[in-house]
């Protein structure tokens, strides 16, 4: 929570007023102290002696050119003398850097919300505040698990998929592409029992082994319909708006521009970036983009959010345009956390595991390694944006979808690459295959999906503890997508009467 952003002289004046026994009142800005202190609350600050500082107090401290009000989680000192304090926002996972006692301005004693005074400087209030902060962080951890599970659902058809490392025995088959059964066995460890279930028309999905920063699942279902119907369904970006998860969607022009996002509506959480700084920002942005929001938006102006939305459209269009002209290498480096994150590197880690694609189309596999400007001849692609309901807050994403039907191959290939996401997913990439079913006469096929996404949201001890929940929900979500796709395609096709 930012208290104010002012000159050193003004902060010195505040020190004098507090020393004379006066209280200060500021308007809270930001959500780092949620749920105890909320954006727009009135915050009353009083002077505090070092010896009176207690764990659980909310202190207003100097930070750079401004101030921050966070809760004390540790007091550093000896012999009753306090040398520094360590703070943390109630909704933040990480602690702040140690604050010397000389940077402490005062203690937040009371907040006023809707005309009601809430006191924070009592023993009960401190204990309650710490408990609520722990509960809120736990809720966010559990919610992130659910969010990634929901993400797995969305990735299954219309959003980025991810492939797993292939161990296909190409030399044993000569130049033949693997059939669906062989692919699933060698890529995802499907058993004979799994294949028998697929042949009976059952959708089967499995969790794939990954490192701690990845979530990966694979699944398949036999569909009695022409495979072209699946491609028509996948290409229908407008149909995304009828999804229970996708709140809005739109296509980019051949040369992406801000007007392509005219219908996009951004959440206040993303619009209010006055506290966003490199290394500490609530959304994924490059350092240059963070600087632009501060340069081009007057956060004290009445139209700050309108201006912020306009900058968002320009920033996102710029990312899309850079990707169109430069491919994977033009993707951004996020500076929202202390450790920079290179999206090209994250995507490369995923693309390296697309070995099995070469079995169906070497040229498409080569394209996936770079996601460059030159696509395989005959490939059709779409660049689009979506606003998706991930549970706690919507996520804004840009995705690139490529559909390719290589001549002489028994499969149609669809790859989807995440170009940008403002929350949760660092990178996502995947492949869906429509593989002809033997004897189907182009009236039946196997839909095979392999998804992988990378996220820092599962890093850390406590978040690793919920990893199994995340994986299980991603698997179940993919299975539901396979079932829903089979039902939708077979209900519209005469092929629905074909007996598997």
Residue 37 sits in a domain whose CATH number is: 2.10.109.10
pTM exceeds 0.95 for this model: no
How far apart (Å, rounded) are the C-alpha atoms in residues 356 and 364? 11
Calculate the CA dihedral of residues 33, 36, 39, 40 and round it to 10 degrees. -140
User: In terms of domains, do 444 and 342 share one?
Assistant: yes
What is the predicted pLDDT for the residue at 218? 94
> Which region holds residue 460: left if phi is over 0, alpha if psi is between -120 and 50, else beta?
left
On whether residue 292 sits in a domain, the answer given is: no
What is the predicted pLDDT for the residue at 127? 84
* Residue located via tokens 């402490």: 104
Angstrom distances, CA of residue 106 to CA of 23, 70, 102, 193: 9, 11, 11, 67
| Per-residue pLDDT of the chain in tens (500 residues, 90 and over written 9) | 544 445 556 677 777 878 777 788 888 877 778 888 887 788 999 998 888 898 899 998 887 667 888 999 988 887 778 888 988 888 776 777 788 988 898 999 999 887 788 888 888 888 887 787 777 666 655 554 444 444 444 443 343 333 333 333 443 444 567 889 999 998 899 999 999 999 999 999 999 988 888 889 999 999 999 998 988 888 887 777 666 678 889 999 999 999 999 999 998 889 999 889 999 998 999 999 999 999 999 999 999 999 999 999 999 999 999 999 999 889 999 999 888 999 999 998 898 887 899 889 999 998 988 887 788 888 999 999 999 876 667 889 999 999 998 877 788 999 999 999 998 889 998 899 999 998 766 789 999 999 889 988 766 555 555 667 777 878 888 898 899 889 989 987 654 443 33
Q: Closest by alpha carbon to 354, among 88, 169, 168? A: 168
What is the predicted pLDDT for the residue at 173? 45
* Residue located via tokens 């660049």: 383
First vs last Cα of the chain: how many Å apart?
Answer: 60
Please tell me whether the peptide bond between 70 and the residue prior to it is cis, using omega within 30 degrees of 0: no
On whether residue 301 sits in a domain, the answer given is: no
User: In terms of domains, do 114 and 164 share one?
Assistant: no
User: In terms of domains, do 225 and 148 share one?
Assistant: yes
How far apart (Å, rounded) are the C-alpha atoms in residues 26 and 377? 62
Number of structural domains in the chain? 2
On whether residue 408 sits in a domain, the answer given is: yes
What is the predicted pLDDT for the residue at 461? 54
Query: In which element (H, E) is residue 138 found?
Result: helix 123-155
User: In terms of domains, do 174 and 115 share one?
Assistant: no
User: In terms of domains, do 328 and 250 share one?
Assistant: yes
Please enumerate in sequence order all residues whose Cβ is within 8 A of that of 315, keeping only pairs 6 or more positions apart, or say none.
285, 289, 292
Q: Closest by alpha carbon to 155, among 438, 427, 486? A: 427
CB atoms within 10 A of CB 353: 21
User: In terms of domains, do 150 and 117 share one?
Assistant: no
3-state secondary structure of 38: coil
How far apart (Å, rounded) are the C-alpha atoms in residues 159 and 152? 9
What is the predicted pLDDT for the residue at 150? 45
User: In terms of domains, do 219 and 357 share one?
Assistant: yes
User: In terms of domains, do 342 and 477 share one?
Assistant: yes
On whether residue 297 sits in a domain, the answer given is: no
As a whole number of angstroms, the longest Cα–Cα distance in the chain is 90
Tokens of 102: 């000389």
What is the predicted pLDDT for the residue at 255? 94
On whether residue 287 sits in a domain, the answer given is: no
Q: Closest by alpha carbon to 4, among 63, 47, 49, 48? A: 63
On whether residue 311 sits in a domain, the answer given is: no
Angle at 342 between CA 340 and CA 348, to 5 degrees: 150
User: In terms of domains, do 418 and 485 share one?
Assistant: yes
What is the predicted pLDDT for the residue at 308? 96
Domain that holds residue 33: 2-121
On whether residue 276 sits in a domain, the answer given is: no
User: In terms of domains, do 433 and 340 share one?
Assistant: yes
How far apart (Å, rounded) are the C-alpha atoms in residues 239 and 337? 35
On whether residue 253 sits in a domain, the answer given is: yes
What is the predicted pLDDT for the residue at 174? 46
User: In terms of domains, do 252 and 398 share one?
Assistant: yes
Backbone angles phi, psi at 154, to 5 degrees: -70, -35
Q: Closest by alpha carbon to 378, among 410, 403, 414, 408? A: 403
Which of 121, 155, 190 is the last residue in one of the domains? Answer: 121
Tokens of 116: 């009601």
User: In terms of domains, do 324 and 450 share one?
Assistant: yes
Q: Are the C-beta atoms of 448 and 168 separated by less than 8 Å?
A: no
Which of 89, 121, 153 is the last residue in one of the domains? Answer: 121
CB burial of 42-63 (b: ≥16 within 10 Å; e: otherwise) equals ebbbbbbeeeebeebbbbbbbb
Return the CATH number at 362. 3.30.530.20
């Amino acid at each position: 929570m930012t208290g104010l952003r002012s000159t050193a002289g003004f902060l010195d004046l505040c020190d004098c007023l507090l020393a004379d026994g006066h209280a200060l009142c500021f308007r809270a800005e930001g959500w780092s102290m949620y749920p105890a202190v909320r954006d727009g609350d009135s915050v009353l600050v009083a002077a505090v002696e070092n010896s009176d500082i207690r764990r659980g107090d909310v202190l207003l401290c100097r930070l750079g050119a401004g101030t921050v009000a966070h809760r004390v989680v540790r007091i550093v000192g000896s012999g009753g003398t306090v040398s520094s304090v360590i703070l943390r926002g109630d909704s933040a996972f990480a602690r702040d850097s140690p604050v010397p006692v000389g940077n402490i301005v005062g203690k937040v004693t009371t907040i006023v919300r809707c005309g009601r005074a809430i006191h924070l400087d009592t023993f009960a209030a401190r204990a309650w505040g710490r408990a609520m902060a722990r509960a809120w962080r736990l809720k966010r951890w559990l919610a992130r698990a659910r969010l990634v599970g929901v993400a797995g659902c969305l990735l299954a058809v219309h959003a980025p998929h991810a492939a797993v490392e292939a161990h296909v025995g190409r030399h044993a088959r000569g130049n033949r592409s693997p059939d669906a059964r062989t692919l699933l066995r060698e890529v995802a460890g499907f058993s004979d029992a799994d294949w028998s279930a697929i042949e009976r028309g059952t959708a089967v999905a499995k969790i794939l082994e990954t490192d701690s920063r990845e979530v990966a699942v694979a699944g398949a279902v036999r569909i009695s319909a022409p495979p072209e119907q699946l491609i028509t369904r996948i290409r229908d970006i407008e149909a995304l708006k009828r999804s229970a998860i996708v709140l809005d969607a739109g296509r980019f022009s051949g040369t992406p521009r801000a007007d392509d996002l005219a219908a996009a509506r951004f959440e206040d959480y993303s619009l209010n970036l006055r506290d966003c700084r490199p290394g500490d920002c609530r959304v994924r942005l490059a350092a240059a983009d963070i600087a632009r929001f501060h340069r081009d938006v007057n956060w004290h102006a009445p139209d700050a959010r309108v201006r912020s939305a306009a900058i968002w459209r320009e920033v996102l269009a710029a990312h899309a345009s850079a990707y169109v002209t430069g491919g994977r290498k033009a993707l951004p480096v996020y500076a929202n956390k202390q450790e920079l994150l290179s999206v090209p590197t994250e995507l490369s880690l995923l693309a390296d595991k697309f070995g099995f694609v070469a079995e169906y189309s070497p040229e498409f596999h080569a394209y996936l390694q770079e996601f460059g400007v030159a696509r395989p001849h005959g490939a059709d692609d779409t660049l689009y944006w979506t606003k998706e309901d991930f549970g706690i807050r919507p996520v804004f994403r840009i995705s690139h979808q490529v559909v390719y039907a290589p001549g002489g191959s028994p499969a149609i290939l669809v790859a989807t690459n995440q170009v940008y996401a403002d929350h949760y997913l660092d990178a996502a990439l995947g492949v869906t295959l429509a593989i002809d079913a033997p004897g189907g006469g182009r009236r039946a096929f196997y839909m095979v999906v392999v998804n992988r996404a990378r996220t820092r949201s599962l890093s850390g001890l406590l978040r690793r503890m919920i990893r199994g929940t995340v994986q299980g929900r991603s698997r179940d979500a993919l299975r539901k997508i396979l079932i829903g796709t089979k039902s939708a395609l077979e209900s519209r096709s005469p092929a629905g009467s074909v007996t598997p």
